[in-house]
Amino acid sequence: MYVAAKGGEKAIRNAHALLAKRRRGNENLPSIGLDQIAAQLTLAVDRVMAEGSLYDIELASLAVKQARGDLIEAIFLIRAFRTTLPRFGNAQPLDTSRMLVRRRVSATFKDLPGGQLLGPTFDYTHRLLDTALGGGENGDISGDSPVASGGDIGDIPAAPVAMPRVTDLLGQEGLIEASPADDGAEPFDITRAPVAYPVDRATRLQTLARGDEGYLLALGYSTQRGYARSHPFVGEIRFGDVEVIFEVPELGFEVSLGTVQVTECQMVNQFKGSAEVPPQFTRGYGLVFGQCERKAMSMALVERALRWKELGEEQSAPAQDEEFVLSHCDNVQATGFVEHLKLPHYVDFQAELDLVRRMRAEHEAEMKEAAE
């Protein structure tokens, strides 16, 4: 148990001042602007928004700067900030079928309506360090936009193109399970009420959406390696802008609040069927703020693994253990508990020390007695 300690105020003040100095670094160099972080470290900012569970690019950029690039610390700052604000209400569910798509690929259908759009991706890069980027201003020139520089402009759509979800295409033939119907019930909110296991799918999705990317990546990976194998395919990944619609109580009608960027992953998995259901594909779903593709994929894999009971599968692997998976995926909770170990525990340890000394004395006495 952690017992409050007193003292050290001056040392703590000085440590914080030193932290600020180290964060600023060499003062001969310009301080990084939040706009630069937002524009050039976009994916770090996206991760902070996703796991901080708060969409605000400027605040997430500030958190990245203040945390000296420590993203879990930045996420912690965002989580702390969100507790200071009142909640106006709940938005209508985002409609990802009406996304302004900036990237959209399917690993299952090569000729899908709307096309395969690679967008800004690391896929197919050679993962060679580009030393020119380190060469200052002149080395970091993006060039003309691909359109202007003579990309294939033949089929650039003048108007938004319909982008049906891949799962809708399979669904038309009944080859894939339908999404659970919206019965109008309010989804459980883990930020408002304590979680009691087992939980429903909506609770799992909320927990996973803010869960640690690395943790979910490892668990998702474990399912691929045979721990609850589900034979996954990426049905579709899409990233882009979706509109936020909110019904304003005082107006009595819906208002568009602007757009947010999200990544959606539809994982398609084998299912052999059951007594009630013929063989069909099942689904795991991932939805994450920002361009967080690795996270969306990992989330979808883990989400599918957690559905073993509903699908009548055998439980055999860590990724299927709902309480274990969900209660350890929050990196703010995890870092809080792990890192608190370095705070003063002198009183606890003193008690443990006394106990060990007493046990040793008793042990010694017993040995002596046995020898006599």
Partner 1 sequence: MQALKKNLNDGSDLRAARQATMALLARASASELHAMLARLAPIPAASDLRPTETGLVMLRGRTGGDGAPFNLGEATVSRAAVHLEGGATGFAYRLGRDVGAARAAAIIDALWQDEERRDAVEAALASLKARLEAEADEARAETAATKVDFFTLVRGED
Decide: is 153 part of the binding site for partner 1 (CB under 8 A).
yes
Decide: is 283 part of the binding site for partner 1 (CB under 8 A).
yes
Decide: is 233 part of the binding site for partner 1 (CB under 8 A).
no
Binding-site member from 37, 63, 74, 287 for partner 1 (CB under 8 A): 287
Asked if residues 97 and 234 have their Cβ atoms less than 8 Å apart, the reply is: no
Please tell me the distance from the alpha carbon of residue 185 to that of residue 205, in angstroms, as a whole number. Answer: 16
Decide: is 32 part of the binding site for partner 1 (CB under 8 A).
no
Asked if residues 306 and 205 have their Cβ atoms less than 8 Å apart, the reply is: no
How many residues bind partner 1, per CB under 8 A? 87
Closest CA to 272 of 321, 238, 237, 313: 313
Q: Which is nearer to partner 1, 3 or 161 (CB)?
A: 161
Using only the alpha carbons of the chain, give its radius of gyration: 26
Q: Which is nearer to partner 1, 37 or 101 (CB)?
A: 101
Q: Cis bond leading into 120, ω under 30°?
A: no
Decide: is 70 part of the binding site for partner 1 (CB under 8 A).
no
Binding-site member from 182, 276, 369, 372 for partner 1 (CB under 8 A): 182
Distance in Å, CB of 7 to partner 1, minimum: 38
Which stretch, 218-226, 253-261, 272-280, 321-329, contacts partner 1 (CB under 8 A)? 253-261
Q: 309-328 mask for partner 1 (x: CB under 8 A)?
A: --------------------
Asked if residues 305 and 276 have their Cβ atoms less than 8 Å apart, the reply is: no
Decide: is 175 part of the binding site for partner 1 (CB under 8 A).
no
What type of residue is 247?
E
Binding-site member from 8, 113, 139, 146 for partner 1 (CB under 8 A): 146
Distance in Å, CB of 200 to partner 1, minimum: 9
What phi and psi, each to the nearest 5 degrees, are found at residue 297? -70, -45
Q: Which is nearer to partner 1, 53 or 298 (CB)?
A: 53
Q: Which is nearer to partner 1, 2 or 88 (CB)?
A: 88
Asked if residues 205 and 285 have their Cβ atoms less than 8 Å apart, the reply is: yes
- Contact set for partner 1, span 187-226 (CB under 8 A): 187-191, 201-203, 205-206, 209-210
Distance in Å, CB of 82 to partner 1, minimum: 6
Q: Which is nearer to partner 1, 4 or 193 (CB)?
A: 193
Q: Which is nearer to partner 1, 9 or 186 (CB)?
A: 186
Decide: is 58 part of the binding site for partner 1 (CB under 8 A).
yes
Q: Which residues contact 335 (CB under 8 A, 6 or more apart)?
A: 72, 76
Decide: is 43 part of the binding site for partner 1 (CB under 8 A).
no
Distance in Å, CB of 59 to partner 1, minimum: 7
Give the sign of the dihedral formed by CA 53, CA 58, CA 61, CA 66. Answer: negative
Decide: is 160 part of the binding site for partner 1 (CB under 8 A).
yes
Please tell me the distance from the alpha carbon of residue 18 to that of residue 24, in angstroms, as a whole number. Answer: 10
Q: Which is nearer to partner 1, 228 or 287 (CB)?
A: 287
3-state secondary structure of 310: coil
Residue 232 is inside which H or E element, if any? Answer: strand 232-248
Task: Count Cβ atoms below 10 Å from residue 20 Cβ, excluding itself.
Answer: 10
Q: Which residue has the tokens 């709307």?
A: 114
Q: Which is nearer to partner 1, 255 or 367 (CB)?
A: 255
Distance in Å, CB of 152 to partner 1, minimum: 6
Indicate the angle between helix axes 57-66 and 42-52, nearest 10 degrees.
100
Please tell me the distance from the alpha carbon of residue 237 to that of residue 221, in angstroms, as a whole number. Answer: 18
Q: Which residues contact 316 (CB under 8 A, 6 or more apart)?
A: 227, 228
Distance in Å, CB of 118 to partner 1, minimum: 4
3-state secondary structure of 287: strand
- Contact set for partner 1, span 89-118 (CB under 8 A): 89-94, 96-97, 100-103, 110-111, 115-118
Which stretch, 7-15, 182-190, 343-351, 359-367, contacts partner 1 (CB under 8 A)? 182-190
Asked if residues 267 and 288 have their Cβ atoms less than 8 Å apart, the reply is: no
